[in-house]
Amino acid sequence: MAEKVLVTGAAGQLGRDMVLLLENKGHEVLACDRQEMDITDLDQCGTVIDDFKPAIVIHCAAHTAVDAAETDIDAAYAINAVGSRNVALAAEKAGAKLIYISTDYVFNGQSDRPYHEFDNTDPQSIYGKSKRAGEVMVQSLSTKYFIVRTSWVYGKYGNNFVKTMLKLGQEKPLLQVVHDQTGSPTYTADLAAFLLELMVTEKYGIYHASNTETCTWYEFTEAIFAEAKDILGLEFSAKLEPCTTEQFPRPAPRPRNSVMEHLSIRTNGLIDLRPWREGLRAFLVDLKE
């Protein structure tokens, strides 16, 4: 059945893939970026959502500049907390289901095992804290919500780690990549496909959704080079070297462990995402085309 779906952050990596997939499946989509709807404006959110009357709102818009957020605290909270409140209120008033995209940064990253959906959150960065504040807003104000936490996202649209490494690998003689942070890279097309499955259910709650299996940033880069050589025929001049987090100090603390257990996907009988390496290959094939 075709649904009316409103997507915020429609010009972002995930937003663009989401809009294309929804349209491809015959849904009626209102793609909203800042120009169409400023999520920090409560009245505007109310008007746009009330006029369109969506059955589902997929809230991808976010302040994702992790390091910049450490100093621009107001902007991070205005978008991630207040903006999410505004979207949640308007969606609730319209009787719409709400999907809020969140992050592994809501955890402290210190656990020695994967995080599941019901573990206590303990964000360490302003980005993580503001995204967690957004989760709380959604949980408090929406009766039909899905909170979907993901990690290490990359896609065809926008800038991301994979594209950066493809470029630097051909330009630099030496590349040092962090080898003590572990997570699961997530291809936006795979995440969008999961959201498409989830949105038509009433299996509300918190979900962890990333491509399955794990790697470090260094191992991810090794795979990017190997697969890009094979699929795109690229040659890389850069010598890869593992390094520690301490060798690359950043304003915002990075989680050592970003691995998330997909407990809710299993217990709700949903289809899990494919392994990250398969997702990477599919992305490179898409890029080639």
Query: What distance in Å separates the CA atoms of residue 65 and residue 73, rounded to the nearest whole number?
Result: 11
* Cβ(151)–Cβ(109) below 8 Å: no
Instruction: Spot the catalytic one: 77, 100, 127, 187.
Output: 127
Q: How many CA atoms lie within 13 A of 141 on its CB side?
A: 24
Radius of gyration of the chain (CA): 19
Bridge partners, residue 260, by sequence: 115
Q: Which of 287, 259, 281, 274 is nearest to 119 (CA)?
A: 259
Per DSSP, what are the bridge partners of residue 154?
187
Cα torsion 225, 228, 234, 237 to 10°: value is -10
**Residue in 137, 266, 143, 133 with CA at minimum distance from that of residue 205:** 143
Question: Is 77 labeled as catalytic in the residue annotation?
Answer: no
Distance between CA atoms of residues 126 and 72, nearest Å: 9
Bridge partners, 222 (sequence order): none
The amino acid that residue 58 corresponds to is I
Q: Where are the alpha helices (DSSP H) in the chain?
A: 13-24, 42-52, 66-69, 73-77, 83-93, 126-141, 161-171, 188-199, 217-232, 263-267, 276-288
Distance CA 286, CA 226 (A): 16
72-81: b or e for each residue (b if 16 or more CB lie within 10 Å)? Answer: eeebbbebbb
What is the set of active-site residues?
127
